[in-house]
Amino acid sequence: MTIKTVALLHPGNMGVTIGAAAAASGARVVWVLNGRSKATQERARQAGLVDVENLTDALRASDVILSVCPPHAALELARSVAEHKFHGIYVDANAVSRATAEKIGETVTQAGASYVDGGIIGSPVKRAGTTRLYLSGLRAAEVAELFSTSMLDARVIGEKPGAASALKIAYAAWTKCSDALILAIRALAAIEGVDKALVGEWGLSQPDLERRSIRAAAVAVPKAWRYVGEMREIAATFEAAGLPSGFHLAAADINERLTPFKDRTDPPPTVAAVVDALRASAEKNR
């Protein structure tokens, strides 16, 4: 199969760079204009993506669907595509559990599509070496070829869908959960009146932790609203494996409490602002 056109659903901060990477390797990348915000429209156009009016038009024109959306919407998006009997390759590159990935695969393949499971690790693609797209499924190599001359590093890790999602979940179980944990610790220390002493002790015994808490506030907190569903997918994965799910359910709760900082980057949130927000939410929960 020669892949000529790819439909990106939908061009968020990460997704738009994945679409741009496919375009850089020679694919025509379309996206659905209808119902999207002005910010999304501007992102897509700056990336050189081609507007189409609705999902029907996108599917009719495309050989491959790239689904890059918040985890809670991944299965519903797959169902919407399946209703149109799409027969190309459906790539789900969302942060979902293996169980959810398998449901997505069943949904699209029963409607006639081929399914490739994906997991993105790294930041939005702005330079080579920062972002990897792991892929699993019988047609994963064809999808990897889409990005062969781009800055995105696409890697095939197996022929059975689910492996890429499992890798993404295992990786994010540490990176994103630890951001939530360190900010919760700063809030706890502030509530107990020992934050200054904690930071002093960190300087003596764990000199990287203050810097990590500052970075978590500035970089992770504006995206915390996206991580709520991801933490729940990770918790479900731990539970299915017979491991405790509480770590990541708690991280989901912390991230949910930080949704007032949604997409706030100018200026980025400070540890003090985040601690104040968590203290306020703690007062409500006492």
77-99 confidence digits (pLDDT tens): 999 999 999 999 999 999 999 99
Written as six digits, the tokens of 13 are 């901060």
Least confident of 31-35, 105-109, 153-157, 273-277: 31-35
Provide the whole-model pTM. 0.92
Give pLDDT tens digits for 123-132.
999 999 999 9
Give pLDDT tens digits for 171-212.
999 999 999 999 999 999 999 999 999 999 999 999 999 999
pLDDT of residue 151: 96
Q: Taking 90 as the threshold, does the pLDDT of residue 138 lie above it?
A: yes
pLDDT of residue 242: 98
Determine the distance from the C-alpha atom of residue 34 to the mean position of all C-alpha atoms in its chain, rounded to a whole number. Answer: 22
CA distance linking residue 274 with residue 261, whole number of Å: 9
Q: Taking 90 as the threshold, does the pLDDT of residue 3 lie above it?
A: no
Q: Taking 90 as the threshold, does the pLDDT of residue 286 lie above it?
A: no
pLDDT band of residue 119 (cuts 50, 70, 90) is very high
The number of C-alpha atoms within 13 Å of 183 and in the hemisphere containing its C-beta is 35
pLDDT band of residue 36 (cuts 50, 70, 90) is confident
Q: Taking 90 as the threshold, does the pLDDT of residue 37 lie above it?
A: no
* Maximum alpha-carbon separation in the chain: 63
Say if CB 31 and CB 17 are below 8 A apart.
no
Beta bridge partners of 118: 135
Q: Taking 80 as the threshold, does the pLDDT of residue 2 lie above it?
A: no
Mean pLDDT of the chain: 95
Region 230-237: mean pLDDT is 97
What percent of the chain lies above the pLDDT cut of 70?
A: 99
Least confident of 39-48, 157-166, 258-267: 39-48
Say if CB 46 and CB 20 are below 8 A apart.
no
pLDDT band of residue 1 (cuts 50, 70, 90) is low
Q: Taking 80 as the threshold, does the pLDDT of residue 275 lie above it?
A: yes
Q: Taking 90 as the threshold, does the pLDDT of residue 60 lie above it?
A: yes
CA distance linking residue 266 with residue 264, whole number of Å: 6
Phi, psi of 262 (to 5 degrees): -50, 120
Domains and CATH numbers, the chain: 5-160 (3.40.50.720), 167-285 (1.10.1040.10)
